[in-house]
Amino acid sequence: LTALLASTPVTPDMITWAAALLAAAGAACFALGLPAAGGILAQLASIVDGSDGELARLRLEARPSGALLDTLLDRYADALLIAGLTLGALGAPGTPGASGAPGALGALGGPGGAWLPLLAGFLALAGAPLSALVKDRLQWLAGSGRRYNPLRDDPAWLRWLPVNRDGRCLVILLCGLAGAPVAALLILALASHVGAWARVVHGLQRLQARS
């Protein structure tokens, strides 16, 4: 994708915004009861999002403001997708199996209540930024002379957890195609919190061993 865009007037910031809009569209699809479309759009957003930095480096246009915009919009995209998954699981308008009243209010009055989607959505939303936050904090503790590299510094098993944005979007794609938004929320919630605490424990052990 980056090679195709290199000779066009498209800028890295345009790609960043396009990825965010794709994620927003995916979130809307989940909320409207179209999980397969939502999963596909989320994965497209992940693919497009990987091209902004590549294009900036290819054109020698990389700058801190672009990286900041990318980080900010990524967090909004994560929040929108998790909100869309939660609304879809609750029974937003158009969701098959929703109870009598429309939307989330209908699900709240439905059989079994809505505690599981709400709890899973809350935990997934709280956990989404933890991987990057812990990584940045460990890098700060390690000092400016050494960059934290998950492939080198994380325990081997942690690399298999979907703790980064690409991994989260892959989970959303697969669960969206399966029509299982609650499963996506549960996987995202569990992986993000387990991954964050594992990185904290392992990272601090490595720092103490070097001190």
Q: 99 phi and psi, to 5 degrees? A: -80, 180
User: Which is more confident, 12 or 94?
Assistant: 12
Q: Which of 8-22, 44-58, 100-114 has the lowest mean pLDDT?
A: 100-114
Give the span between the Cα atoms of 86 and 43, in whole angstroms.
18
Kindly report the pTM of this predicted structure.
Answer: 0.83
- Say if residue 99's pLDDT is above 60: no
Residue with tokens 């480096």: 57
User: What is the mean pLDDT of the segment spanning 184-210?
Assistant: 89
CA 153 to chain centroid, in Å, comes to: 21
pLDDT at position 12 = 84
How far is it, in rounded angstroms, from Cα 141 to Cα 208?
11
pLDDT at 43: 97
Q: Which residue has the tokens 């498209």?
A: 10
What is the CA 170 to chain-centroid distance, rounded? 9
Q: In the predicted model, what is the mean pLDDT of the chain?
A: 83
Quote the pLDDT of residue 94: 37
pLDDT-derived band at 50, boundaries 50, 70, 90:
confident
Q: What is the pLDDT of residue 111?
A: 46
Q: Which CATH architecture has domain 2-210?
A: Up-down Bundle (1.20)
Confidence tier at 151 by pLDDT (50, 70, 90): low
> What one-letter code names the amino acid at 66?
G
